Amino acid sequence: MDLDQHFPALSDLRKRAQRRLPRFVWEYLDSGTGAEATKQRNRHALDRIGFVPSILHGPQDADVSTPWLGKALPLPIGMAPIGMSGLIWPDAEGHLARAARDAGIPYCLSTVASQSPEDLAPHLGDQAWFQLYPPKDPDIRKDMLDRAKSAGFDTLVITLDVPVASRRERQTRSGLTQPPRLTPRLLAQVATRPTWAAGMARRGMPRMRTLDKYTMSPRASRSSTAHIGYLLRTSPDWDYVTWLRDNWDGPLVAKGVLRPEDAARLERVGYDALWVSNHAGRQFDAAPATIEVLPQIRAATNLPLILDSGVETGLDILRAFALGADLVMMGRGFHFALAALGQRGPAHLIDVLKKDLSANMGQLGVTALSEIRQVPRIELI
């Protein structure tokens, strides 16, 4: 199959992924919270950002590499963490880690992934990131940091925008619970998706393997969207993020920043980069689009900035860079690609994004990503 002919855009991968996943898995991956206004706002805000094309530049070669914390990345994008990736596709974390390693881009493993840091150790490149949901117990906290470091994860990402479990109504309506249980209702859905079912039969239903060491059974009641990780987690404060800075000797990133004053204070604490995120609309349904707050955060800090939430194309990456981002992360997109094409999917999406970046840079007459901030912008209706 010629992937470029059949799947020239992420939208094509998304459609095929939906056809290949059981409904409850699709709802878990694709849903937001509430009426999903924040999820839609992310997309609409990106679509409003236009550029004025430039002509008469002659032949050009686009350089899509970007500096990141003292290193050069071949592409300005990485793979964002999604909890329980292995529910979306068998060995999802392994497939994504290997694809990121081969492309030389960041891969971020979630605390609540279905594989542990130790599982991923043989598959990591030199941009291996570990996303930490903040454990309350200081001994567990220290042990998780040691495990991540020993496995080869050099960058720690602390997620700050999940102080409580979200309400993802579409996920709840689908019948998915935490931990996942194959009820007769869900088994009926699985029966219609033989490829997914066969993969799961070989590997078994996923669980949050990083947490196995600390707890194997629930000790308290939880909502259908609150997984076992909430038994270990806390709502962090400024003392917590300062403790992390004192106890992690590698690059440290704060994820979930939407206010300029928080960005400035995190810089003073000593963080190395900030991640502007509204959790892709999965946590709070009255949040601003990340691209809307990015310029104010850029003005408030000198730290490198990551942006996610709503990004789908190379053009979106250029929009993010134009407004102040230094790196863009995608979560759903890479999982759409994986569900659509299996292990070939992530590499194909990387190729699609690279080609889209180059094509749009050519239209704008820029040869380096840093030049995009000088291109005249307009607001599109």
Catalytic residues: 279
CA distance 315 to 361: 9
Helix residue ranges per DSSP H, the chain: 3-6, 10-20, 23-30, 37-47, 85-88, 92-103, 117-120, 138-151, 169-174, 184-190, 194-203, 238-247, 260-269, 290-300, 314-322, 332-341, 345-364
Distance of CA 239 to the CA centre of its chain: 26
Burial of 122 (0-12, 13-18, 19+ CB in 10 A): exposed
The two beta strands, 49-51 and 377-379, are: antiparallel
CA distances from 256 to 86, 177, 231, 270 (A): 23, 25, 21, 17
